Structure 1
């Protein structure tokens, strides 16, 4: 009888280990939806042909613009990604010749959503404190050199430098942006800004069994129209 109890106990321990270690693996890899791909400009609708149409003037972020975050998570040793996004984005871009001379965008953080309510509660509460700091902003501090006036279908990658403000903390950042002219009167612009949480006094997103790195990405896709 004692031997049988020991055997059952060992089986119970083994099952518990499988559930704790294997459970998250099965859930993440077979049941949980994969994180959406990074925000990026669409493939060029056509090859860049013909003379370039001047882009001078002010452009506004239109419907379809998005912004959000991407953070790597570890759940019981299993790697995954947390992604939250919103369409609550406004912005403008001024182009003169072959340069973007001014530009900025603002994100309504109170509308950012992920695929998990508990994660959203943490984001809106202790992490970003959106009741106190509802907006995130970025503003160019240096012109972006486009190199040339892009034709419809052309895609350009350039460096952007400006001030990123999160939780009332403003820091200078430099990162790659990609622009695609989808029509004579339309531009798509995407980018990803690396963010080390401590630099903006953002609480580490780790909570419960979920652990995160000390950094993440601010992603955006801006659809500009004249």
Structure 2
């Protein structure tokens, strides 16, 4: 018995479904791999300042002169930035999402070769990525920045850098403290790198974050699946308080 050929409308339906499937799979692949810009590199001491570092105000002493030595009180000044980095699957394609802000404040107290106290605060509502849609989800259902506007890290143990660096020299240490995000606090330990400048110093680090530790559900919605962990990146420029 001869097979009947599909009617015209059935053929069109099959072609339409196949085309939609191709666009649904191929479209994100083409955009992510050929159109979308690569994510910015991780923050490091080689990163240029977010904006030129000030030589007055928070970046210098009250008399505008650079301070001798490193002991005493310091505060976060211009040229600082912080944000998040997290891996996600976007319509079947692996991507790295990065959001940053320059709205960072903080302080540090140094005695000898040790940072004996300090904290920094990030204004989460000002964090921006390369996607307005992602930013809206970040501020809304993910972080609820109206209720929890800030992320805060506070040292709970001194950081010993081992020596007082010369200008432009880098030193490393290990920091332990409390990280508060989304109203939940967890203890974290991570590596720090500091570099002395002519009138202060810069500090760089990356703090691992497990979303569940802060009462945050892994953000999975609309073809986007986000890993259960991410990092808080920061590059802080300190000047005399």
TM-score under structure 1 length normalisation: 0.89
Residue 29 of structure 2: aligned partner: 25
Tell whether 2:206 aligns with 1:196: no
Counterpart CA distance in 1 for 2:92 and 2:228 is 17
Of 182, 202, 205 in structure 1, the residue corresponding to residue 219 of structure 2 is 205
Structure 1: any 5+ residue segments left out of the alignment? 44-52
TM-score under structure 2 length normalisation: 0.84
- Paired residue total: 217
Equivalences for residues 23-102 of structure 1 within 5 A: 23-42=27-46, 54-102=69-117
Structure 2: any 5+ residue segments left out of the alignment? 48-67
Residue 59 of structure 2: aligned partner: none
Residues 106, 137 of structure 1: 8 Å contact kept: yes
Deviation readout 1:114-139 (Å, 9 max, x if unpaired): 11111111111111111111111101
Residues 63, 223 of structure 1: 8 Å contact kept: yes
Residue 48 of structure 1: aligned partner: none
Residue 109 of structure 1: aligned partner: 124
Equivalences for residues 145-164 of structure 1 within 5 A: 145-164=160-179
Residues 54, 97 of structure 1: 8 Å contact kept: no
Residues 108, 136 of structure 1: 8 Å contact kept: yes
Counterpart CA distance in 1 for 2:96 and 2:197 is 30
Counterpart CA distance in 2 for 1:9 and 1:166 is 49
Tell whether 2:128 aligns with 1:125: no
Deviation readout 1:62-85 (Å, 9 max, x if unpaired): 011111111111012211011111
Residue 218 of structure 1: aligned partner: 232
Residue 62 of structure 2: aligned partner: none
RMSD over equivalenced CA pairs, Å = 2.0
Counterpart CA distance in 1 for 2:38 and 2:7 is 43
Counterpart CA distance in 1 for 2:196 and 2:15 is 62
Residue 47 of structure 1: aligned partner: none
**C-alpha displacement at 1:169, in angstroms?**
1.0
Tell whether 2:197 aligns with 1:182: yes
**C-alpha displacement at 1:203, in angstroms?**
2.5
Residue 169 of structure 1: aligned partner: 184
